[in-house]
Amino acid sequence: MTTLRRTVRVAASPEQILQFVQLKLAGPNDRVARVRLDRVKARGFHLLRSAARDPERAEWVAGARVRLVRAEGGTDVTVEHAGTLLRGKAGLAMVSTLVMAALLLAAGLLRDDDPEALGFGLVFLAMFAGTCLPFVADHRRRDAHFAELADALQEVLAPLLDPEVAPIALRVAVEFHKETDARIFERALDNLGRAPATLALGAVLVAMFALAAWWGDTTRVETLHRMGGLRSEDLALGEHWRLLSSGFVHAGGKHLIGNLQLLFLCYFAEIVLGSSRFVVLFTLAVLGGSIAAALVTPPAVVVVGASGGLFGLATAILLLTLREPQLLPGEHAEKLRNLFLALIGFNLLLSWLPGISFAAHLGGALVGAALVATRAITFGQTRIWRDEQPRPEVARLFRIFAAICGLVLAGSVTLALAHGRPWLLAAP
């Protein structure tokens, strides 16, 4: 192993450096493309170079790591890169030829009756010398790339080197990027085109309510059950589609309006996570809420409403502000945290009122919390509000999951209508 290292002392704490670098390098940069912060803050971070323009350079600097050590009057910032002598094809060929040369030379020198071994040993020794040349050249290139990377980092941290300038630079950078992030995020909020799944879900809920009102009375148990409402005894009869179809049925206009209001508050989840993850999260939360309700609800009671899925979305947003703060600008994360903390607490209190299923709300909330806490729903997610492009393979995987969830939801509603035939209620 060979390690390249450079250290500078800056007049800032490790926490301030992390914040400064994260903000300073938030966008594309030709020299230092992006920064991945460690989960344990104030200990260091990795520098990664984008391979889009120069894959060869990206290979050499991908392992560079910046370590932060508190020191008197500031922090020692050390950028280092540990490289192995046996890297890539050149290293493998070098080791192979060296081993073969050693074996053949030993055989040729120890055995007088095997002169060919000595000749082949010399050939492999020459080959070994030849393989060293590209290795040395690659090693020199790595040194040059690392020096460039270290220079770029030192240039980025230059405002923090002067104890008098550092406080001003930190304050200006934080305020500038806070304003920039807020403006970008608010523009995303104003653009409802960023939330097509939320709009589509709202349209489906309204359409299902309109059909129920056209065919019958939306407050009657028979209408709700025929539209896809869930009784716990239905599961014993094999009607498992009601676990999802019940999430699209609402008992009366007030029920629908209340859930639509909550839905359009929860569209923050789609802005932060993207449409595919939003669909997956909502589907699983509805399923969790319905299962919880079916376990504790009396057999004759019909459970309806999208509240379980909406509680899953709301809880996910709350935990996103705590567990994944980098997906939201800091100011908005704090506002959303306070909003959804109050919203969830208030609605959980309302859940104890007669006619409201506390179990469905709790079940959906637990599913949303689990998906965020385990990072299952945020795996590989980028800051969509900054137009960052996600990893193609991860995005494709979630699109597949979302398509499956969409088909399952549509199939559940179709089966519910085909089985219940609510249009017969309107027959004279």
pLDDT at 133: 64
pLDDT at 178: 63
Is 139 part of any domain? no
Same domain assignment for residues 245 and 371: yes
pLDDT at 12: 81
Least Cα distance to 156 among 70, 79, 73 occurs for 79
Count CA atoms closer than 13 A to 294's CA, side-chain side.
Answer: 22
Is 301 part of any domain? yes
Same domain assignment for residues 7 and 114: no
Is 138 part of any domain? no
User: What residues contact residue 190 under an 8 Å CB cut-off, 6+ apart?
Assistant: none
Whole-number Å distance between alpha carbons of 261 and 13: 44
Whole-number Å distance between alpha carbons of 100 and 120: 9
pLDDT at 321: 85
Whole-number Å distance between alpha carbons of 393 and 391: 6
Is 186 part of any domain? no
The residue range of the domain holding 174 is 2-85+144-181
Count CA atoms closer than 13 A to 156's CA, side-chain side.
Answer: 26
* Ranges in the chain, pLDDT < 70: 1-3, 15, 18-19, 21-65, 81-94, 108-118, 120, 124, 128, 130-145, 148-149, 173-193, 325, 329-332, 384-388, 427-428
Rounded to 5°, angle at Cα 220 from 218 and 225: 85
Same domain assignment for residues 32 and 107: no
DSSP-assigned states of every residue in 149-197: HHHHHHHHTGGGTSTTTHHHHHHHHHHHHHHHHHHHHHHHHH-GGG-HH
Structural domain total, the chain: 3
Same domain assignment for residues 163 and 242: no
Same domain assignment for residues 9 and 107: no
Same domain assignment for residues 225 and 276: yes
The conformational region for residue 74 under phi > 0 = left, psi -120 to 50 = alpha, else beta, is left
Both tokens of 282, joined, read 């909502």
Q: What is the CATH number of the domain that holds 66?
A: 3.30.310
pLDDT at 291: 94
Same domain assignment for residues 44 and 93: no
pLDDT at 60: 35
Q: Can you say how many angstroms the Cα of residue 120 is from the centroid of all Cα atoms in its chain?
A: 56
To the nearest 10 degrees (0 to 180), the angle between helices 196-215 and 275-296 is: 40
Same domain assignment for residues 245 and 332: yes
Both tokens of 288, joined, read 């969790």
Same domain assignment for residues 337 and 316: yes
- Measured CA distances, 395 to 37, 256, 259, 377, 399 (Å): 22, 32, 29, 12, 6
Same domain assignment for residues 118 and 156: no
Q: What is the CATH number of the domain that holds 258?
A: 1.20.1540.10
* Predicted TM-score of the model (pTM): 0.61
Same domain assignment for residues 155 and 249: no
Same domain assignment for residues 244 and 324: yes
